[in-house]
């Protein structure tokens, strides 16, 4: 609060950027709000390969915690070649998106996100058709083609204009919520909304119900790293040093998985990995990030 002549003037609160120096002992650490919490430090992304009788963490990444979940997914897919038929990757909803789904399919991989984050769009948007770059709307749910279309980079939206005659009798007019002008109809929609609408439709299928069984596995690795391997309490500072310790903890986790697998081979009646896991295809992948 600032004191001024004749009373008090409220000082405007200034929010510091995420990269501002918050801890002199660890200048590389960044600050982030997520899910109502305040986080300072780094973020890890873990990929677990799951087979018929065992699983193993095969890839991990470690960045400042301002690194986007979507970017972790892109980095992983861009570094990999094509996967074998029947492979799929189950991930948190933060990894969803049309771009990631298309990138996964290019590598012969199916991306399945098991929960939905944010506002739910109307399912009619799943039938909207965009150009390959996701910038321009080509066709709407009612198979109408816009007269004109521009891209708004600030809002990452396609702004399309239709003939009034195309929209007046449309059965989806109320759900579309387009804007009727004097000479034409304006409709703004983003490629992300189309992808999210497709995700909502897919989540209602029996195929998704089978994949959703892996949801507990997606959550298990971050929980295990926190409870047993204490990834939130790394006794060093700096990105390189903390990344090294994070790698040690991943190695310890994989070593324990190896011991469990060997134990299951020698004592199949008293302990079995297979009995605790749902049925699955021969090769599958589970991806999840762990916030530090």
DSSP state letter for 267: -
Q: Taking the CB of residue 35, how many other CB atoms lie within 10 A of it?
A: 8
107 part of a folded domain: yes
Quote the pTM value. 0.67
171 in a structural domain: yes
Tell me, yes or no, whether 226 lies in a domain: yes
The pLDDT value given to residue 36: 66
Q: What is the DSSP letter of 284?
A: E
List all residues 6 or more positions away from 163 whose beta carbon is below 8 Å from its beta carbon. Answer: 144, 147, 184, 185
Task: Please say which residue of 168, 197, 226 terminates a domain.
Answer: 197
Count: domains in the chain = 2
Q: Are residues 91 and 207 in the same domain?
A: yes
pLDDT in tens, 187-235: 999 988 898 898 888 888 888 887 777 766 777 888 899 999 999 888 8
The distance between the two most distant Cα atoms of the chain, rounded to a whole number of Å, is 83
Q: Which of 197, 214, 247 is the last residue of a domain?
A: 197
- List pLDDT tens digits, range 227-247: 999 998 888 888 999 999 999
Q: Is the pLDDT of residue 131 over 90?
A: yes
On whether residue 261 sits in a domain, the answer given is yes
Question: What tens digit of pLDDT does each residue of 69-88 get?
Answer: 888 988 888 887 777 777 88
216 in the same domain as 85: yes
Same structural domain, 108 and 244: yes
Same domain, 137 and 101: no
> Who contacts 95 (Cβ-Cβ below 8 Å, separation ≥6)?
69, 70, 72, 73, 111, 113, 287
> What is the reported pLDDT for 272?
44
pLDDT band at 91 (very low <50, low <70, confident <90, very high): confident
Q: Say whether both 220 and 108 belong to one domain.
A: yes
**73 and 56 fall within a common domain:** yes
Range of the domain at 210: 30-116+203-291
């Amino acid at each position: 609060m600032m004191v001024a002549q004749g009373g008090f003037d409220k000082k405007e609160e200034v929010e510091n950027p995420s990269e501002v120096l918050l801890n002199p002992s660890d200048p590389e650490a960044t600050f982030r709000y997520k899910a109502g919490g305040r986080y300072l430090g780094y973020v890890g992304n873990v990929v677990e390969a799951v087979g018929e009788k065992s699983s193993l963490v095969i890839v991990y990444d470690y960045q400042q915690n301002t690194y986007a979940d979507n970017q972790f997914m892109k980095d992983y897919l861009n570094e990999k070649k094509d996967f074998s038929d029947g492979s799929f990757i189950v991930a948190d909803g933060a990894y969803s998106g049309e771009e990631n789904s298309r990138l996964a399919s290019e590598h012969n991989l199916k991306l399945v996100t098991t929960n939905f984050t944010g506002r739910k769009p109307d399912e009619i948007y799943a039938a909207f058709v965009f150009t390959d770059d996701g910038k321009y709307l080509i066709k709407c749910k009612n198979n109408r083609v816009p007269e004109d279309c521009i891209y708004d980079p600030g809002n990452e939206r396609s702004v399309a204009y239709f003939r009034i005659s195309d929209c007046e009798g449309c059965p989806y007019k109320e759900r579309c919520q387009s804007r009727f002008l004097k000479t034409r109809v304006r409709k703004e929609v983003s490629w992300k909304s189309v992808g999210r609408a497709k995700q909502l439709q897919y989540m209602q299928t029996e195929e998704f119900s089978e994949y959703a069984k892996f949801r507990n596995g997606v959550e298990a690795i971050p929980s295990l790293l926190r409870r047993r391997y204490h990834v939130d309490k790394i006794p060093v500072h700096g990105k390189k040093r903390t990344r090294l310790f994070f790698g040690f903890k991943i190695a310890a986790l994989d070593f324990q998985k190896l011991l469990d697998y060997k134990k299951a081979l020698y004592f199949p009646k008293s302990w079995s990995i297979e009995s605790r896991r749902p049925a699955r295809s021969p090769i599958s992948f589970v991806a999840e990030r762990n916030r530090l």
